[in-house]
Amino acid sequence: MFDAPVFIDFEASSLSDDSWPIEVGMSWTDGKRVITHSSLIRPRHDWSSTEWDEGSAKIHNIPKRDLIAAPEADLVARWLEDLVDGRPLVSDALSFDERWLRLLVGPQDWCRVHSMDVALEWAFAQNGRINPGKLGLAYKVIRSQHTQHRAGPDAAGHAYAWRKVMKSKQKDGS
């Protein structure tokens, strides 16, 4: 199921329930390479401007004015669907990223997001049982990734960690 996952990450206007996505990043492995794409997102007219939080803007360093020249949300949604190309999406912040993805693309079947936990459990299950030592090592690698609070680099960090974890899995034959 997770042989070729796409790691997805969003930056948003705030962390409130009515926040909206301002940047999306996707990353996946291709052999030894990690492929990463990202895009800012121009807010739709019906996304409330009161949901912009200056504190969040300072964290991700994306000023609201940068979104004026960003691609329109519908264009980003189509671009995202083309890049995902039916592969499973994986997120380390499922509740946020899935909500922002649904807000961006609407109720599409292709955009089901899985948690990093589910992907790792799948990767380290043997005959229906989880290998706790390998799973613990995987979490250590994932946690060691530096968060930049930009969607592309953060998604890439997860893809690099996944590649490292899967490489160690292949070495051990587990």
Query: Does 18 reside within a domain?
Result: yes
Query: Does 36 reside within a domain?
Result: yes
Please state the pTM of the whole predicted model.
0.90
- Range of the structural domain that residue 75 is part of: 6-172
Q: Using the Cα atoms of residue 160, residue 19, residue 17 and residue 86 in order, give the sign of their dihedral.
A: negative
Residue 17's pLDDT is 95
Query: Does 1 reside within a domain?
Result: no
Query: Does 91 reside within a domain?
Result: yes
Three-state secondary structure call for residue 119: helix
Residue 137's pLDDT is 75
CA-atom Rg of the chain in angstroms: 17
Number of structural domains the chain divides into: 1
Question: How wide is the angle at C-alpha 2 spanned by C-alphas 78 and 116, nearest 5°?
Answer: 85
% the chain with pLDDT above 70: 94
Higher-pLDDT residue of 166, 38: 38
* Cα 27 from Cα 34, distance rounded (Å): 7
Kindly indicate the confidence band of residue 69, based on its pLDDT and cuts at 50, 70 and 90. Answer: very high
Which range has the worst mean pLDDT, 34-43, 85-94, 98-107, 111-120?
A: 111-120
Q: Specify the CATH number for the domain of residue 30.
A: 3.30.420.10
Three-state secondary structure call for residue 54: helix
